[in-house]
Amino acid sequence: MNKKTVSDVRVRGKRVLVRVDFNVPLDDEGRITDDRRITESLRTISHLRAQGARVILASHFGRPGGKVKEELRLDPVAARLSELLRAPVRKLSDCAGPEVEAAVAAMKDGDVVLLENLRFHPEEEANDDRFARSLAALADLYVNDAFGTAHRAHASTVGVARYLPAVAGFLMEKELVYLSRALESPTRPFVAILGGKKVSDKIGVIRNLLTKADALLIGGAMTYTFLRARGHQAGASLVEEDKIDLARSLMEEAAQRKVVFHLPEDVVVADRFAEDAAHKIVPAQAIPPGWMGMDIGPRAAEAYGRIIREAGTVLWNGPMGVFEFPVFAGGTREVAKAMAESSAVTIVGGGDSAAAVEQLGLADRMTHISTGGGASLEFMEGRELPGVAVLLDK
């Protein structure tokens, strides 16, 4: 990787501002239901502490919209982090101001504090320069370990790097290494699996992957726009009418580039969008009027599984069907299983895809699951993320 990381800098006795992504899900009682984002940041935090740094953590949490929202305070996160680190984590009541400055001034080497939710201040998302400067003034060095927010130019992800030397944390490094290796020097055959809700969300990703992958496997709702582009009927399936021409030109581009473009040979259709809808398996070219495609069919899942098992690299974004409803989760499950069994480098990007893999209990069997939904999508589009661009080059 061409960016400096925490391994490249001396931190002993220094105040280090670490931008983390502690935007974890909570249940109704305010308990953390999935602490992966906290556990993934432990490596960087432990390294800094062991090296004698004073660790000042900063994160956003939910969407408070620039106002203090009591239910979006970071106290439960500080408590969980403290358990995991087996060390005290002092949660401050704000992320700027004299009280915060005093608390930071009183820190000793190895101490950890967590600033309050950055998005309680509207200046954070506005990338306000004064706010960025006040964050920077707390520290001697800046570490960005929040890959999931790296596609946003906010005060704590971009602005602050104007005033402090800025390096990547280990989680950021891991994300960049796996994703860029898959895109730039994949072990071949390189198979990209694309699904999810909308073609329009994924055009940039499909375009970029067409220039890199050997084969594209299509599933999810976008299947039906592509089927229409091939001249088939799609019944009541979700189709983006205004993207049919584009779908056709993407398939033509794939043919020109000799990228194998797979659509499912069969699909599971339902008579309405519901968990308990009547459903049946039909050939993809024969979706009956009034029925909607909810999942790829078993033949398609088997064919995709075979391709995945023989791949060198597999990059997956977007579920194959409406996996939230168990009867329509089969295609997503088979693809995830094939990836788990494959000896290929397997990478999962996208929030819902990552959730599906977690839910299936297969997360440990993937090479890498990106912690950044939107950020991983933008990365797969081939765009430079603003939060990465500002980090120091090696």
Contact call for residues 90 and 52 (beta carbons, < 8 A) = no
Q: Is 201 in the site for ligand ADP (CB under 6 A)?
A: yes
Three-state helix/strand/coil letters over 300-315 = HHHHHHHHHHCCCEEE
Helix crossing, 199-210 with 222-229: angle to 10°? 70
Q: In the range 218-237, which residues lie near ligand ADP by CB under 6 A?
A: 220-221
Closest separation in Å from C-beta 39 to ligand ADP = 21
Distance CA 266, CA 294 (A): 11
SS3 393: strand
Q: Which is nearer to Mg ion, 173 or 352 (CB)?
A: 352
Question: Shortest distance, CB of residue 293 to ligand ADP, whole angstroms?
Answer: 5
49 among known catalytic residues: no
374 tagged catalytic: yes
Length of the chain: 394
Question: What is the smallest separation between the CB atom of 198 and Mg ion, expressed in angstroms?
Answer: 10
Residue 382 interacts, among ligand ADP, Mg ion, none and using kind-specific CB cut-offs from 5 to 8 Å, with none
Q: Which is nearer to Mg ion, 156 or 371 (CB)?
A: 371
- For residue 310, give both structure tokens: 């023989």
**Residue 374 contacts Mg ion per CB under 5 A:** no
| 162 touches ligand ADP (CB under 6 A) | no
Question: Looking only at residues 338 through 367 of this chain, which bind Mg ion when binding is defined by CB under 5 A?
Answer: 351-352
Strand order in the sheet with 368-369: 260-262, 215-218, 190-194, 313-317, 345-349, 368-369
**Active-site pick, 3, 4, 19, 37:** 37
Alpha carbon distances (Å) from 61 to 58, 147, 353:
10, 15, 21
Q: Which stretch binds ligand ADP (CB under 6 A): 32-40, 97-105, 192-200, 301-309?
A: 192-200
In terms of DSSP bridges, do strands 313-317 and 190-194 run parallel, antiparallel, or are they unpaired?
Answer: parallel
Catalytic residue, chosen from 43, 69, 198, 299, is 198
In the shown chain, the binding pattern of residues 289 to 308 toward ligand ADP, with x for contact by CB under 6 A and - for none, equals ----xx--------------
Which position's Cβ is nearest Mg ion?
352
Shorter beta-carbon distance to ligand ADP: residue 246 or 392 = 246
**Size of interface with ligand ADP, in residues (CB under 6 A):** 20
CB atoms inside a 10 Å sphere around CB 88 = 10
- Helix, coil or strand: residue 158: coil
Binder among 59, 225, 317, 371 for ligand ADP (CB under 6 A)? 317
d(CA 304, CA 263): 10
214 binding partner (options Mg ion, ligand ADP, none; Cβ < 5 to 8 Å by kind) = none
Q: Is 159 a catalytic residue?
A: no
Distance, in Å, from the CA atom of 257 to the CA atom of 178, rounded to the nearest integer, reads 25
Peptide bond into 88 cis (omega under 30): no
Which H or E run includes 282?
Answer: strand 279-283
* 378 part of the interface to Mg ion, by CB under 5 A: no
Residues carrying an active site annotation:
37, 198, 351, 374
- Where along the sequence are the contacts to Mg ion (CB under 5 A)? 351-352
- Where along the sequence are the contacts to ligand ADP (CB under 6 A)? 195-197, 201, 220-221, 238, 293-294, 317-319, 321-322, 324, 350-353, 373
